A and B are shown apart, each in its own frame.
Chain A
Amino acid sequence: MCTVCGCSTSRPSASPTAEEGHEHSHAHAHSHDHEHSHDHAHSHDHGHSHAHTHSHDHAHSHDHGHEHPHEHGHHDDGCRLLDRQPAPSRHPLAAAIPNTADGAAGVTHPGHRRDSTLDYGKGPAGVHVAGVSQRRLVAIETDILARNNRIADRNRARLEAQSTLALNLMSSPGSGKTTLLVETLGQQPGGDVAVIEGDQQTANDAQRIRATGVPALQVNTGKGCHLDASMIERALTQMALPPRSLLFIENVGNLVCPAGFDLGEDAKVVILSVTEGEDKPLKYPHMFAAASLMVLSKIDLAPYVDFDMQACEAHARRINPDIEIIRLSARSGEGMPAWLDWIAARRESLRHKALAQAKVSLDVVEDKSV
């Protein structure tokens, strides 16, 4: 397309030589490059192209009125020039445009662009400079994860209103998350418990959970390396949990990516087994910085492995001074009461929070009714 006049047939000229700049750009010269063509001047397509006949020098000017209003300036200039100094070339405008010292009249004509969204008033300096491509800066200042965070906030509000405690369990693959869950589910004092299992593939973990009688929803992320808030939103809708439930979200086994994605959980729990390195908190700091609790698991194996629990805990606290730590073994049961108590305290505190919020709402309603 011609970027000057918008016609579909001619080519814009990058280098506005006399010939090209104008033939192509407007004249559609090809269509009637020959003199006689003017008789269809009335057909208003390209009056100017035959301006050379001079006989109807400006007949064309009106031709364009409706079609390409912006072209006027152009043609008028051209024609005026033509009147003053008849062009040697066969196209009057061809002479006119390139000869203008600054070239401004001809070459970059904003209005010629077909792009209706361009607004030159929005240029960096609020002006348009001919020949300078139009760019502007749009300040965004928005968190890249804003959308995920919005959905996570929605999930959190939904869970809190129901006084349902959601815990996001994260670890590297093989730390014993599912084993810990199976043991934990069997020791819940009461109330509804449910699990969302995140894995790239297979429903193996959900099946292990379901075998305990607890409902489990498997979320397969495919190639995804973490769960995100929208996956949890969909899962919550599908699961329709009763109020005051306990929901475990077992994230994809990965000590890196899940750390960055808020799901709307009450707390993130990172599980680290003593068969891994004690320096993992230093190697994967994001995860330990994001977690409220670190569970050191498989401590029944501690005598057989070279794992310094104290050093590991010091590393975790260095990364996150607020992190709580529980040592346990799901297999031997050692440390399990502390974990179960931690969950119970969290549920209780959430219940108080939900009650306090409900009370505020009630107060608002009562004040209004008075």
Chain B
Amino acid sequence: MHEMSICQSIVDLIEEQALAESFDRVSRVCLEIGVLSCVEPGALAFGFEVSTRGSIAEGATLDIVDVPASAWCFGCNQTVEIARRGDDCPRCQGARLRVTGGEELRVKELEVV
């Protein structure tokens, strides 16, 4: 379950920021997770609670913002939105697509006290 190490990375990142931005308590963590990223939000939420125990983000609310997936369709010559990898183009039903977005895995912002 790599979500645990991802959560650990989030905690590391928060603690780095705490030094840089001078805060010592985090009440909310907002993440942007692409729908094509290799992360399962449920597992992430579980891992987050475990990983933040004893850290300055203990008890913080976790907000996950889904970032939709986009792909370049070679048939339509334009960017289209897809639901998952391997989907056909929703416009022309072509299969020649290259994923261009939706793999994000970012900490967007923190609400600190």
Contacts and interface: CB of A to CB of B under 8 A. Distances in A.
B86 A257 contact: no
Given A142-B106, A145-B105, A136 B111 contact: yes
A147 B6 CA distance: 11
Interface residues of A, number: 37
Given A285-B86, A321-B98, A256 B2 contact: yes
A260 B38 contact: yes
Contacts, number: 98
A147 B98 CA distance: 27
A133 B39 CA distance: 33
Contacts of A135: 27, 111-113
A230 to B, nearest CB: 11
A177 interface: no
Given A148-B9, A257-B2, A260-B2, A138 B110 contact: yes
B13 interface: yes
Contacts of A318: 86, 95
Instruction: Say whether chain B's binding surface is mostly helix, strand, loop, or mixed.
Output: mixed
B97 to A, nearest CB: 8
Interface size class of B (residues with CB under 8 A): 35 or more
Interface string B82-94: 0011100000000
B24, B84, B106 — which one has the most chain A CB atoms within 10 A of its CB? B106
Contact of A140 (B22, B98, B109): B109
A313 to B, nearest CB: 13
A259 B109 CA distance: 26
Given A144-B10, A144-B107, A148-B9, A315 B24 contact: no
B13 A147 contact: yes
Interface in B8-63: 9-10, 12-13, 17, 21-24, 27, 31, 36-39
Given A140-B107, A144-B31, 18 more contacts: A119-B22, A136-B111, A138-B17, A138-B23, A138-B109, A139-B108, A140-B17, A144-B6, A144-B10, A145-B9, A145-B105, A147-B9, A256-B2, A256-B38, A257-B1, A260-B38, A289-B85, A321-B98
